[in-house]
Structure 1
Amino acid sequence: MEFKRVVVTGMGALTPLGNSIDEYWNGLVNGVSGADMITLFDASKFRTKFACEVKNFDATQYMDKKEARKIDRFTQFALVASDQAMADAGLNKENINPDRIGVVLGSGIGGLITFQNEVQEFAKGDGTPRFNPFFIPKMILDIAAGQISMRHNLRGPNYAVVSACASSTNAIIDALTLLRIGKADIIVTGGSEAVISEAGVGGFNAMKAMSERNDDPKTASRPYDKDRDGFIMGEAAGVLILETLEHAKARGAKIYCEVVGGGATADAHHITAPHPEGLGAKNVMLASLADANMKPEDIDYINTHGTSTPLGDIAEVKAILDVFGDHAYKLNISATKSMTGHCLGAAGVIEAIACIQAVRTDTIPPTINHFTDDPELDPKLNFTFNKAQKRTVNAALSNTFGFGGHNACVIVKKFQD
């Protein structure tokens, strides 16, 4: 069976750096930190008091108040990002075949804020069950994909993907597969996450996973820096319109890039810690290259998982050296989580967008907040520290790894007809 080629024809994003693709990309290339003190709840008694929130977001600017009350923040994000992506791709209810367009969306946790608030309200009472009738439909993480399909009348394949922080990358890979084998002409894909709440921050604090650099939140996310002390929680949504090349050409769509491969593996090692030698990370990059029918030398840029954790950063770099060998020293590597924080289930798609933009503009976004070299990391590698760099980017690879040992990555390259 010959696979169909797949291209990106639309993009949308809400991120800690801005509420559009242009704002997000401008923040990345200018090295802007999205971190600040938490405003979504009172974090004064928490060990971590800062995060990378989506700023200046009012759901009622995009939907009526009644609709906004019925959906969780993560679904609100997903709907807005999908609106942006559909409009960017020039798609609307009048010019689509709804039965040939699907939605595959990822989220690591889903409606945690709704779950927390409903349980807290119940706990205040006398034990009589009084729950909001929208409690379950607001909370379940598949609801974002469902809401997008209803909003845009999309009746093709529709489901959610959950693999912790790899969720939206796995969603993109699933969308790629569906299109390759002809199950749809277009897939709306990506992910959304919004869990900056007492339960979210408190839970990750209890795991000792997050930075506690409360005196300097802007520089707290320090991938590959000797003094890194954990990730910063972020929230975001990103949506891509993936389309078969033949369909995109037939309707005269603009094409951003081609999605040429993806892979998924497991560490089979630990519930939260990465394999110390980066075995799963190595295997997933090799699988992606094989799927794309590419050699390591074909890659110019890697957007790493790079969360700013002591163990994770080292394991990923070991994997890169194993896969790319001497070519590793010709790559640009960067960890954009230094600016966006770790957006959990939405991390993969917003980092894929960073790769798409790098391919489009021949610009590598930086890894900011580098102050002290880590002696355990090879100093000859180009981590693109602190300042964006210009270079030809024909192909870029995006890595995302999640709790439970889930690894996923995708490869995008310049479109050539």
Structure 2
Amino acid sequence: MTAPVITAWSAVSPFGLGREAFAAGVAAGTSAVTRPEDWPVPRQRVAPVPGFVAAEVLGPKGTRSMDRVSALAAAAAGELLGAGNRHREAATGERAALVLGTTAGSSTSMMDITRDTHTRAKPFHIDTPRIPNAIMNSSAAQCAIRHNLKGPNTTVAGGRAAGLFALRYALRLLSSGHARSVLCGGAEELTTDRGWLEHHAGDPDRPAVLGEGCSLLLLEPAAPAGAPVLAEVIGVTLGVFRDGEQNAALASCLSRALARAGITAADLWAVSPAVGQGEVHIDGHAPPALPGEEAWGDAGAAAAPFQIASVLAAAERDPAARGRVAAVLSADRDNVLGCALFRIPKEPGSTHA
């Protein structure tokens, strides 16, 4: 393999902490969506990361003022880096980059500061430790500090499509030589503040089903000697669409991505469709669809990374995936979309396509 490759991944998801919990949840075909009795937003169902408390997962140091989305991202990074000595060696230190997708950072942190400006004696009498959390790139910065990532540190906003935007940016870092490895993914928090925002912004007849979490990939510019490869990243194609034309635009995006890569629809092993897309038909083929939002809720900026994780988890179990291609499609309500193509090695853990 000469294209960038994925050599590891992690997930902190509504299925639990770690990639094993995510892979087991996806394989079981279960849904992590629930309707807690104490959730205050009317008619809303949610999929939280079960039992996630930052101080318990990450330890007390540095977590007192850490917001939830930063804690989820830091936990996912720690899980990936702790999976093996080689992963930590490859993904930390000089020229080890982090690219994190987001919707708008932490909505709770921003609303807390806004609330303080109205309720305190003076508008500038805000709780100062919260200020860094209200900045969109706070989560990526805290991950870099905690885990010794000294290369480029980038936050990319794009809602549900943010993970694919981040992947495209990560590929550019590798191809330009600005990084020797990249941790790439997306993170989203589930809080009552986000719940109320989605409640008022959404369709009252279709209440939101919100999820949260973070998933990260370890990207390297080529297959490392003697190390297993999970998938080759063939490319990422991005685009926009008009209202009411999402599905047609996604089909067009997939067709363009396949044409650029010189791949036919018959080469597709599976597709992870965008929310609301339904079954994907292309050139007379209908590749099997992998689980999506119905399993983990609307995970916002973590949605596309969760889709990629589900591809990697399913490919490990399915012999039919070997040597073939998977497509991940994503679209956001702000009219942006993307398609990423991944080639699965012919042999599990192989370093050859």
TM > 0.5 between the two? yes
Residue-by-residue CA offset, 1:244-297 (whole Å, 9 max, x unaligned): 225x22xx3322222212111011x24xxx525x23212321233234332222
| 1:180 shift after superposition | 3.2
CA contact (8 A) 2:187 2:302 kept: yes
**What amino acid sits opposite 2:298 in the alignment?**
H
Letter in 2 for 1:5: A
Q: Which amino acid aligns with 1:51?
A: V
Q: Is this contact kept in 2: 1:72–1:114, CA < 8 A?
A: yes
**Secondary structure of residue in 2 paired with 1:62:** helix
Gaps of 5+ in 1: 213-228, 307-311, 364-390
TM-score, with length taken from structure 1: 0.76
Question: By how many angstroms is 1:235 displaced?
Answer: 0.5
Is 1:298 paired with 2:252?
no
Give how far 1:4 is off.
Answer: 4.5
Q: Structure 1 residues 396, 160: closer, same or farther in 2, change over 3 A? A: same
Q: Is the 8 A contact 1:4 1:180 kept in 2?
A: no
User: What is the CA-CA distance between 1:76 and the residue it aligns to?
Assistant: 0.5
Could you tell me which of 116, 130, 140 is aligned with 2:111? 116
Query: Alpha-carbon deviations, 1:191-221, whole Å to 9, x = none?
Result: 1000432x322222223347x7xxxxxxxxx
| Partners of 1:183 and 1:146 in 2: CA distance | 18
Select 1:414's aligned residue among 335, 344, 349.
344
| 1:82 aligned partner, one-letter code | A
Inter-CA distance 131–65: structure 2 relative to 1 (3 Å threshold): farther
Amino acid at match of 2:290: S
- Superposition map of 1:40-119 within 5 A: 43-44=39-40, 46-88=41-83, 90-91=85-86, 98-119=93-114
Deviation of residue 92 (structure 1)? Answer: 6.7
The CA distance in 1 between the partners of 2:43 and 2:86, in whole Å, is 42
Instruction: Quote the RMSD (CA, aligned, Å).
Output: 2.5
- Alignment correspondent of 1:152: 147
- Deviation string for 1:55-88 (max 9, x for gaps)? 1112113334351123211010001101111223
Residue of 18, 22, 25 corresponding to 1:24: 22
| CA-to-aligned-CA distance 1:321-360 (integer Å, 9 cap, x gap) | 3xx12112xx101342111011001100011010112222
TM score, norm. by length of structure 2 = 0.89
Write out aligned runs for 1:349-364 (5 A): 349-362=305-318
2:138 is the alignment partner of 1:168: no
Give the conservation status (yes or no) of the 8 Å contact 2:181–2:221. yes
The aligned amino acid for 2:127 is N
Q: Which runs of 5+ in 2 are unaligned?
A: 347-351
Residue-by-residue CA offset, 1:141-186 (whole Å, 9 max, x unaligned): 2122222222232222221111111001211122123223433221
The DSSP-based 3-state class of the residue aligned with 2:251 is helix
Give the 3-state SS of the residue equivalent to 1:99 in structure 2: coil
Q: Is the 8 A contact 1:72 1:139 kept in 2?
A: no
Identity %: 21
Partner of 1:255: 229
> Aligned letter for 1:261?
G
For 2:196 and 2:44, the matched residues in 1 are separated by 10
Using the TM superposition, give the Cα deviation of residue 20 of structure 1 relative to its aligned residue in structure 2, in angstroms: 0.9
Query: 1:78 aligns to what SS in structure 2?
Result: helix
What is residue 33 of structure 2 aligned with on the other side?
Answer: 35
SS at match of 2:62: helix
The number of equivalent residue pairs is: 346
The amino acid of 1:403's aligned partner reads R
